[in-house]
Each structure stands twice: as C-alpha cells, then as structure tokens.
C-alpha cells in the first residue's frame, strides 16, 4: 500500500506497517508442513473470500448512510486482518469503527472508496509478499 488511507474523522496510527511480521511469523510457526507459508496463504485466501463478501455491501451501506452496517463490516474485517498480520488495514478499520462510535462520521458517502482501497492495497501487498 503506497498511499495512506484517509477519511476525515478517522484517527489511527499512520506509522503502522502494512504487515506485522511478528504476527505472521507466529502463524508460520504453527504449521509443521515443509512449506511454512502454506497456512498463512490458506488463511489469507479465507480472509480475502470472507472479507470480499462483507465488502459487497459496503457501497450500499455508505450510500444509505447506515453507520451500524458500516461498523459491522469494518469490525469483522479489522479483527480478521489483525489476526492475519495486516496491521495497517486493521488499524485503519478500527479507526473507522471508533469514528462511527464517537459520532465523527455523520456522512458516510465518501467512505466507501478509501475503505475499499485500503483493503485492496493490503491484499495486494500480502499477495506480493507471499506469492498468493
């Protein structure tokens, strides 16, 4: 991800790395397979599939200004991203969630593109790193 995700009213640590190598390394230690990245790649495929299903409703939630639907989308993906080691995506989505809860995002129509772009950028970086 070359660009930092940005939505006015969303605060998060912009210095977070795209990937948390410690988290990813812990996942690779779990797998006794000859290919230590096999489990990480499998988990990424599952993450991408489930998150894409959630993101299919993103534009509609933002267009309808439905904060609770948007919060549910980013909450689900942030948790999975954190477990997988996608630190910046997790931080940004947690920031979106907190912005909604604090009432700093009264208008959501401008949120869909940065949220989608952050997801796409994180997935591209992960695929590039692990040849997925």
| 37: nearest Cα among 85, 93, 100, 101 | 85
**What pLDDT does residue 83 have?**
95
| 80: nearest Cα among 62, 54, 106, 100 | 54
Tokens representing residue 35 in the block? 């290919």
**What pLDDT does residue 1 have?**
42
Question: Tens digits of per-residue pLDDT, 14-41?
Answer: 999 999 999 998 888 876 667 878 889 9
Question: Tens digits of per-residue pLDDT, 58-89?
Answer: 999 999 999 999 999 999 999 999 999 999 99
Are 73 and 118 within 8 A, CB to CB?
no
Are 84 and 43 within 8 A, CB to CB?
yes
**What pLDDT does residue 50 have?**
97
Question: Tens digits of per-residue pLDDT, 78-127?
Answer: 999 999 999 999 999 999 999 999 999 999 999 999 999 999 999 999 99
Predicted TM-score (pTM) above 0.85: yes
* Whole-number CA gyration radius for the chain: 15
Q: 3-state DSSP call for residue 100? A: helix
Are 5 and 117 within 8 A, CB to CB?
yes
| 72: nearest Cα among 47, 88, 85, 55 | 55
Tell me whether residue 82 is exposed, middle or buried, using C-beta atoms within 10 angstroms of its C-beta: 0 to 12, 13 to 18, 19 or more. middle
């Amino acid at each position: 991800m070359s660009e930092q995700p940005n939505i006015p009213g969303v605060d998060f640590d912009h210095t977070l790395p795209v990937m948390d190598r410690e988290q990813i390394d812990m996942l690779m230690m779990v797998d006794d397979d000859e290919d230590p990245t096999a489990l990480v790649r499998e988990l990424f495929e599952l993450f991408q599939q489930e998150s894409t299903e959630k993101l299919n409703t993103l534009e509609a939630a933002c267009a309808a200004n439905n904060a609770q639907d948007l919060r549910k989308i980013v909450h689900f993906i942030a948790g999975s991203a954190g477990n997988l080691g996608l630190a910046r995506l997790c931080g940004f989505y947690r920031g979106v969630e907190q912005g909604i809860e604090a009432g700093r995002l009264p208008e959501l129509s401008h949120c869909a593109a940065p949220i989608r772009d952050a997801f796409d950028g994180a997935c591209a970086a992960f695929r590039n790193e692990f040849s997925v």
